Amino acid sequence: MIKSFLQYFFLSIFRIKFFNSVFSMIKDLNYYKKIKTEKYFLYFLVTNWITDFRAKTFFTKEPDTLLWIKKMKSNKVFWDIGANVGIYSIYAAKVHKNIKVYSFEPSVTNLNILVKNVNKNKLCEKITIITNPVSKKTAFGNFNLNSFEEGSANSSFDAKKSSKLYYTTNSLNSKILKKIYKIQYPDYVKIDVDGNEYEIVFDLLSVFNSIESILIEVNKNKREIAKLMAKKGYFLESRGINTDNLVWRKKLT
């Protein structure tokens, strides 16, 4: 009995030390990872394994997106629809001195990191954060979260469906953004929304004719998007490297 008690006692101590160690590691996982680009340093807040992964794979996850951003012209406007924690918004704002960035991100978990990243990189004057989802209608609907973890993806706005994690919010369409908010018209648009890409592209191209290039991570409706882009005068310029990214560019007239 004494032997069993001692085994239980020492096992309990080991468990306490182990979980305290893990807790300390998790608690301390709150720092900015410094990334050196061509001319600039970027800083991204790391709070968990997802945000750590996004910072670590900055150059390798979507090199095509980085190249697309790098080729942007100066004195232009970039809409980052589905900005997540701001990786590409911040890169665009750093690489191009005279560019205005609008970062659309409705996820409450990602907004916390996005705001901190923008502040840390001293880009508050160049990046405007819009917390409403973009949709073809201005209406209330469910924003479905894939996870409460910061930096997570696969969340989407859908007026009909709902996941276990969701909240009701209002979407904005291009007409409202143009008429009421008097937003600067986009020259470049990145769409990474995990679901309603077609509706967003249709809405944008119905209102704005200023868009030179659109990068879309296509999850579904590939044929419908291709037909729409061709109809609106765009051609497929490039495909992503190991991604579902498609870059469409407006034909010169």
Q: Span 115-136, mean pLDDT? A: 96
Instruction: Please answer whether residues 238 and 208 qualify as being in contact, where contact means their C-beta atoms are separated by less than 8 angstroms.
Output: no
- Whole-prediction pTM: 0.86
Q: CA-CA distance, 142 to 219, in Å (whole number)?
A: 19
Rounded mean pLDDT of the chain?
A: 88
How far separated are the first and last CA of the chain, in Å rounded?
89
Confidence of residue 68 (pLDDT cuts 50, 70, 90): very high
Extract the tokens encoding 192.
């990474």
DSSP state of 248: E
**Topology at the third CATH level for domain 55-250:** Rossmann fold (3.40.50)
Residue-range domain boundaries for the chain:
55-250
3-state secondary structure of 177: helix
Q: What percent of the chain has pLDDT over 90?
A: 69
pLDDT band at 146 (very low <50, low <70, confident <90, very high): confident
- The token duo for 47 is 């709070």
Q: What is the pLDDT of residues 25-50, one digit of tens each?
A: 454 578 999 999 988 999 999 999 99
DSSP labels, 29-51:
--EEEEEE-SS-EEEEEE-SHHH
